[in-house]
Chains A and B, each alone.
Chain A
């Protein structure tokens, strides 16, 4: 591919691509994201490709393996255009029928349609599915349009137009003005106004500056950045290029978690392709702007999501944060001014420059603009990636999009923002998705993970889970986080194991507040949020653990015992075989019993029993 030398050539490349594609009468889009790949979507894609070539249809039907469609639970997913027909749980054996019936004859294969778990009816098109219908998919919908391994797909759908427009006439100050006017705030957790960050970096003294894309999405329960970088890497690159132009940087880095191998691979391919097309390198599109991007692999440290720790990691050092009395926009990577944004923030940039800030700012609430991608998971019917306008209520997300509780048990709480966020009870679900409102309620949007919890979830155990996570991930540099989290975990372990004392609840609260006020970095400062928010809204659960030595949800191992209900036991032996600790006694055709001495209370027998015969007391 010869390099694209100017804006005109970019346009002619696009026109040629569109012209070449006129021959296709149908498009078959199959999700090849991490979620669908786990459900063997690659085999489906291979089967479809084989079928198309066998029937000589390669020049008529465009088969596109895309990034994540968001509805991972239903994978592998295939969408057929024209018609917007949505098939789920597709297997390689369906390939022949899909092509023969749906692609060639526009007939529906009923068994592959999605069945709405609420109404029980099957739904024909993607647009009609409630999970998608209630969303506003500004970023995510683009995933379906492109093969992430194909820069041609990206260019054909209008990619790099925002860059071309910017380089051919929007001066850096005006770019920053637009980003400021859009009201875009950092999607990584802090919610800092993006335009202000850009302005500070532009004004920072020094000729050598850097831009960084933070793709070290370490928050457990959040995967929107994986999905965007994996599904549409050029969109992120384009955003970075515009940022680099605005602040005057020549070099960029994408810092990708090692746990996201596919995102890493797609980012690498995208950088290579952009270089081959002349969209990265010297004198991009014939202008004075030169920019290059390198990929850095994360090492599996949660703290490296923090900007200063991430920069230390790119420098090849241990990822420890440092005090930010001088901001990284002035003193960042290699002590140079550095502009760092996360994947989703960068991905929002091209549309702001292309369509204007007003269009972006038209969505959202007063101080939180645009849309936000949420990873909706846990005990909810429809799990997956959800994109909604800021200001949408949590209720809409959990019930209209998520379809409500998964197992028929009432939803008790929602955990937002990962280990830095908090748990909100069901009676707070009317509050809107808004940086400031959620913070006031004791939680945060964070990077956008939302885990729905029902009666079977013990809130004290959830707080303990996050403390265990944070104790493990604390880099150990500052005392409040290193020792504070340790002590909090100690207290909460006492509470969950039946040794809790009433005065420990107050102590836990005091300790949490001290850690919040004194820790060095953002992660330490928010480390107490899971504890403080559960104490705020679910204090009675703590009190039951302490005063009655009981776990109402039946989760905390030391406070429960397992027994077999002789009325329900069918002597099938499944639990006896499943128990890794040989704690189930009983011969064939004999009612089984659990040996309380051997039993480690792991709960495996309960999960395996098909007759609900295992009781938790």
Chain B
């Protein structure tokens, strides 16, 4: 983790315990997760006991304490998506990637998560891929989305191999 980025996140917020969540939000955004080291630094700099930093970081769903995959797929499991078959999508992604919600695939390519509502209920079921919304999803579309993401990830390495 680069110290400079963390330093700029903490800038102007040092010794202000009430900034804890905002600081953690920025760390999550920049690094994709909150490491033990980051928690220790935040604890020292804001003057919040490490236990409290951990309590807050583990309480809110927005924070991940483990590194996340290169591609983050978020499945909306809100009521509207649920009645339109979001469960099928959960089965699809879990079956295809072989990991449970919140976990990263062993190759580090994917993490899938579920969220209780992204507020796009009229066009559900919704899946977001690294923040990009995909609407009216079904298992087939999701399968193709995952396949195409995997393909894009593999392509550059193929190209490299050919050059060699």
A contacts, CB < 8 Å to B: 34-35, 37-39, 71-73, 75, 217-223, 226, 257-261, 296-302, 313-319, 375-379, 383-385, 415, 418, 449, 451, 453, 457, 462, 465-466, 469, 472-473, 475, 578, 580-581, 600, 602-604, 607-608
A260 near B60: Cβ-Cβ < 8 Å: no
- Identify 8 residue pairs between A and B in the complex whose beta-carbon atoms are under 8 Å apart, listed by A's number: A297-B21, A300-B62, A302-B116, A317-B20, A377-B80, A383-B122, A451-B79, A580-B92
Complex Cα gap A223–B124 (Å):
13
In angstroms, how far is the closest chain B Cβ from the Cβ of A461? 9
With both chains docked as a complex, state the minimum distance between the C-beta of A151 and any C-beta of chain B, in angstroms. 24
Q: Which of A219, A258, A316, A384 contacts B117 (CB 8 A)?
A: A219
Closest residue on chain B to residue A530 by CB atoms: B79
Task: Give residues of chain B (43-94) contacting chain A, Cβ–Cβ below 8 Å.
Answer: 48, 52, 55-56, 59-63, 77-80, 82-85, 87-88, 91-92, 94
- Flag if A221 contacts B79 (CB, 8 Å): yes
Query: Of B77, B92, B124, which contacts A604 at CB under 8 A?
Result: B92
Q: Does A221 contact B134, Cβ atoms closer than 8 Å?
A: no
Are A604 and B133 in contact (CB-based, < 8 A)? no
Per the CB 8 Å criterion, the residue count for chain B at the interface is 51
Interface 9-mer from B3-11, B103-111, B137-145, B151-159:
B137-145
Label chain B's interface by main secondary structure. helix
Task: Give Cα A280–Cα B107 distance, bound, in whole angstroms.
Answer: 50
In this complex, what residue of A is CB-closest to B57? Answer: A299
Which are the 9 A-B pairs with shortest beta-carbon distances?
A580-B95, A299-B60, A220-B78, A38-B133, A300-B61, A223-B119, A602-B91, A377-B80, A221-B79
Contact indicator B134/A38 (Cβ below 8 Å): yes
- Residues in chain B near residue A220, CB distance under 8 A: 77-80, 82, 116-117
State in angstroms the CA–CA spacing of A314 and B124 once bound together: 31
Report A-chain residues with C-beta under 8 Å of the C-beta of B131.
Answer: 261
Which residues of chain B are near A302, meaning CB under 8 Å? 116
Q: Assess the B116–A469 pair: CB atoms within 8 A.
A: yes
CA distance A545 to B109 in the complex (A): 41
**Cβ of B5 to closest chain A Cβ, rounded Å:** 18
Q: Which chain B positions have C-beta within 8 A of A221?
A: 78-80, 117, 121
Q: Which residues from 96 to 129 on chain B have a C-beta closer than 8 Å to any C-beta of chain A? A: 96, 115-124, 126
Partner of B123, one of A38, A219, A259, A451: A38
Give the complex CA separation of A378 and B78 in angstroms: 11
Is the Cβ of A299 less than 8 Å from the Cβ of B140? no
Residues on A with beta carbons closer than 8 Å to the beta carbon of B118:
34, 259-260
Please measure, in the bound complex, the distance between the C-alpha atom of A604 and the C-alpha atom of B139, giving whole angstroms.
6
- What is the CA–CA distance of A579 and B133 in the complex, to the nearest angstrom? 24
Question: In the complex, A506→B19 CA distance in Å?
Answer: 48
Alpha-carbon separation in the docked complex, A261 to B119 (Å)? 11
Identity of the chain A residue whose Cβ is nearest the Cβ of B91 in the assembled complex: A602
For B142, the closest partner residue in chain A by CB is A604
B32 within 8 A of A: no
Complex interface: chain A residues within 8 A of B21 (CB):
296-297, 299, 313, 316
B126's nearest neighbour on chain A, judged by CB, is A38
Cβ of B95 and Cβ of A222 under 8 Å apart? no
A361 to chain B, nearest CB (A): 30
User: A34 contacts B18, CB within 8 Å?
Assistant: no
Contacting residue for A258 out of B17, B62, B84, B143, CB 8 A: B62
B41 within 8 A of A: no
Q: Contact: B91 with A378, CB < 8 Å?
A: no
**Which A residues are in CB contact (< 8 Å) with B83?**
378-379, 451, 453, 457, 462
Asked whether, in the complex, the Cβ of B126 is within 8 Å of the Cβ of A299, the reply is no
Contacts of B117 in A (CB 8 A): 218-223, 259
Tell me whether B25 is interfacial, beta carbon within 8 Å: yes
Contact across chains for A604 and B123 when beta carbons are under 8 A apart: no
Does B36 touch A at the CB level, under 8 Å?
no
Give B124 Cβ to nearest chain A Cβ, in Å. 7
Task: Tell me which of A260, A314, A600 contacts B119 (CB under 8 A).
Answer: A260
Question: Shortest Cβ distance from B128 into chain A, in angstroms?
Answer: 9
A298 to B121, CA, bound (A): 20
Closest B residue to A454 using CB positions: B83
Question: Would you call B22 and A297 a contact (CB within 8 A)?
Answer: yes
In the complex with contacts A296-B22, A378-B84, A604-B92, A38-B135 CB distance below 8 A: yes
Compute how far the CA of A607 lies from the CA of B138 in the bound complex, rounded to whole angstroms: 8
Known A259-B115, A580-B96, A607-B88; contact A465-B79, beta-carbon cutoff 8 A: yes
Docked CA distance A449–B20 (Å): 32
Q: Is the CB of B122 within 8 A of A35?
A: yes
Which residue, of B96, B139, B143, has the highest number of chain A Cβ atoms within 10 A? B139
Chain B residues near A376 (CB, 8 Å)? 122
B60 with A377: CB separation less than 8 A:
no
When the two chains form their complex, are residues B79 and A72 in contact, meaning their CB atoms are under 8 A apart?
no
